[in-house]
Amino acid sequence: ISKRCGTFTDSVIRRMTRICQKYNAVNLSQGFPDFDPPRELLERLSQVAYEDYHQYSITWGAANFRQALAEKQSKLMGRKISPEGEIVVTSGSTEAMMAAVLTVTNPGDKVVVFSPFYENYAADAILSGAEPVYVNLIPPSFSFDKDELEEAFRLHPKAIILCNPSNPCGKVFTEDELRYIGDLAVKYDVFVITDEVYEHIVYSPNHHVYMASLPGMWDRTISCGSLSKTYSITGWRLGYVIAPSFIIDNVRKVHDFLTVGAAAPLQEAAVTALNFGNEYYEDLQDKYTHKRDLFLQGLDRIGLKHTVPQGAYYVLVDISEFDYDDDLKFCEDLASVVGVGAVPGSSFFKDGKVKQYIRLHFAKKDETLIEALDRLSSIR
Ligand code: GLN
């Protein structure tokens, strides 16, 4: 067994899903919806089964999927994205991120990661032979210290990973913050690898700004995205990388040998979703705003202290008032005794050192959230 395998564990997020299944707990740990994807998308999926999409698509993505995605993202990102040269379709943004890090780093290179962070990034760096350098996002606003960030850039990292809107803290980076990060990336010649899977789940008055759309940033930004959260299809594993062609040419090679390609029939069906009009995204925003408010009000009623997300669908609940040293043990007890699944916050923080939070998500039917809140109220 390689030494590399000794340097990281399996995903705690996904482990918690297995624990929830064992105890029949309401699973607010791994972030995925329990409601249906849009009906039109499902109808198209059922037709596709009888059409000719059962063999490999082009490695870097079916032409009509890339065309539809390029049209959608060009409008959002304010630049004409070439479906031919600037997109690779991947097996989820998990593969997109892995391929991006493998494409730009050499073994021994440093990669800046904000902490708290989505747990895949450390594994992406380690699997590439790169070394994560962490910069704190400081609660309660989860803003960063400018000097601490520049300090990290002075180590001459190859890339910075930017999750915006951020999992798990719900931060939406402001344009000023993005410009500050972008200016440092230019000054120190660093790539920015974004994870923007929550681009459409942002709560008013916050709004999402694409790093790649800022002046001077297109040439050094590798934008990773996904259809999972936007269309409630986490199991379809459809993600993508968007970047300038000199990067994409290389992401294609990495992707080719990682997975050959994303599932062809699912790409074909998903074109329907990529062609949805603005109304779909407005409704999605309204739906998640309602769920966030329902869930946060419930936590307030129970008297649990929590973050207020500006985007994405996660809440960090502060458990310091409870008599636990170990947040994993807290989550195990929460699943087995209270019947609610959460992710121990330590899995998102540098070196697992911060143990005062658990992460809950609210991408669930209202009735599921109400049931979870009802169960949570018994912890008092
Ligand atoms: N992004 C989701 C989370 O943080 C799901 C992660 C996953 O398991 N791929 O829970």
What are the structural domains of the chain? 4-30+279-379 (3.90.1150.10), 53-274 (3.40.640.10)
Q: Is the peptide bond before 165 cis (omega within 30 degrees of 0)?
A: yes
The Cα 293–Cα 203 span in angstroms is: 10
pLDDT for the residue numbered 9: 86
pLDDT for the residue numbered 76: 98
Residue in this structure with the two tokens 């994303």, named with its chain if needed:
262
Is 13 touching ligand 1 by the criterion CB < 6 Å? yes
CA 59 to chain centre: 23
Give distance in angstroms: CA of 22 to centre of ligand 1.
Answer: 19
pLDDT for the residue numbered 205: 98
Three-state secondary structure call for residue 316: strand
Is 116 touching ligand 1 by the criterion CB < 6 Å? no
Give distance in angstroms: CA of 186 to centre of ligand 1.
Answer: 31
- CB 314 within 8 Å of CB 170: yes
Give distance in angstroms: CA of 207 to centre of ligand 1.
Answer: 22
The Cα 35–Cα 231 span in angstroms is: 11
Is the pLDDT reported for residue 284 higher than 90? yes
Q: What is the mean pLDDT of residues 101-118?
A: 98
Mean pLDDT of the residues in the chain? 97
The Cα 55–Cα 274 span in angstroms is: 22
Task: Please report the atom of ligand 1 found closest to the CA of residue 92.
Answer: 9
Sequence-ordered list of residues with C-beta below 8 angstroms from that of 9, at least 6 positions apart, any chain: none
In angstroms, the first-to-last Cα distance of the chain is 46
Is the pLDDT reported for residue 297 higher than 90? yes
pLDDT for the residue numbered 8: 87
Nearest CA to ligand 1 atom 3: 31
Segment 337-371, tens digit of pLDDT? 999 999 999 999 998 889 999 999 999 999 999 99
Nearest CA to ligand 1 atom 1: 31
Partners of residue 144 on adjacent β-strands:
137
Task: Place 164 in a pLDDT band, splitting at 50, 70 and 90.
Answer: very high
Residue in this structure with the two tokens 């070439």, named with its chain if needed:
82
- The encoded tokens of residue 342 equal 């959460």
Is 156 touching ligand 1 by the criterion CB < 6 Å? no
Which residue, 227, 237, 228, 193, is CA-closest to 211?
Answer: 193
Three-state secondary structure call for residue 136: strand
Residue in this structure with the two tokens 């105890």, named with its chain if needed:
23
Task: Please report the atom of ligand 1 found closest to the CA of residue 94.
Answer: 9
Percent of the chain with pLDDT over 90: 97
The Cα 335–Cα 345 span in angstroms is: 15
Segment 12-52, tens digit of pLDDT? 999 999 999 999 999 999 999 999 999 999 999 999 999 99
Q: What is the mean pLDDT of residues 258-264?
A: 97
Give distance in angstroms: CA of 14 to centre of ligand 1.
Answer: 7
Task: Please report the atom of ligand 1 found closest to the CA of residue 31.
Answer: 10
Sign of the Cα torsion 171, 114, 217, 245 reads negative
Partners of residue 89 on adjacent β-strands:
240
Nearest CA to ligand 1 atom 4: 31
Give distance in angstroms: CA of 12 to centre of ligand 1.
Answer: 10
Pocket test for ligand 1, best of 15, 30, 237 (most atoms within 8 A of CB): 30
Give distance in angstroms: CA of 180 to centre of ligand 1.
Answer: 28
The Cα 31–Cα 308 span in angstroms is: 17
Pocket test for ligand 1, best of 29, 93, 167 (most atoms within 8 A of CB): 167
Segment 171-229, tens digit of pLDDT? 999 999 999 999 999 999 999 999 999 999 999 999 999 999 999 999 999 999 999 99
Three-state secondary structure call for residue 323: coil
Cβ count near 347 (within 10 Å): 23
The Cα 125–Cα 102 span in angstroms is: 8
Is the pLDDT reported for residue 257 higher than 90? yes
Name the pTM for this structure: 0.97
Q: Is the peptide bond before 205 cis (omega within 30 degrees of 0)?
A: yes
- CB 100 within 8 Å of CB 241: yes
Partners of residue 239 on adjacent β-strands:
90, 226
Task: Please report the atom of ligand 1 found closest to the CA of residue 167.
Answer: 4
The Cα 41–Cα 296 span in angstroms is: 30
Is 166 touching ligand 1 by the criterion CB < 6 Å? no
Q: What is the mean pLDDT of residues 134-145?
A: 96
Buried b (16+ CB within 10 A) or exposed e, 199-230: bbbbbeebebbbbbbbeebbebbbbbbbbbbb
pLDDT for the residue numbered 336: 96
Is 14 touching ligand 1 by the criterion CB < 6 Å? yes
Q: Is the peptide bond before 140 cis (omega within 30 degrees of 0)?
A: yes
Nearest CA to ligand 1 atom 9: 94
Cβ count near 245 (within 10 Å): 13
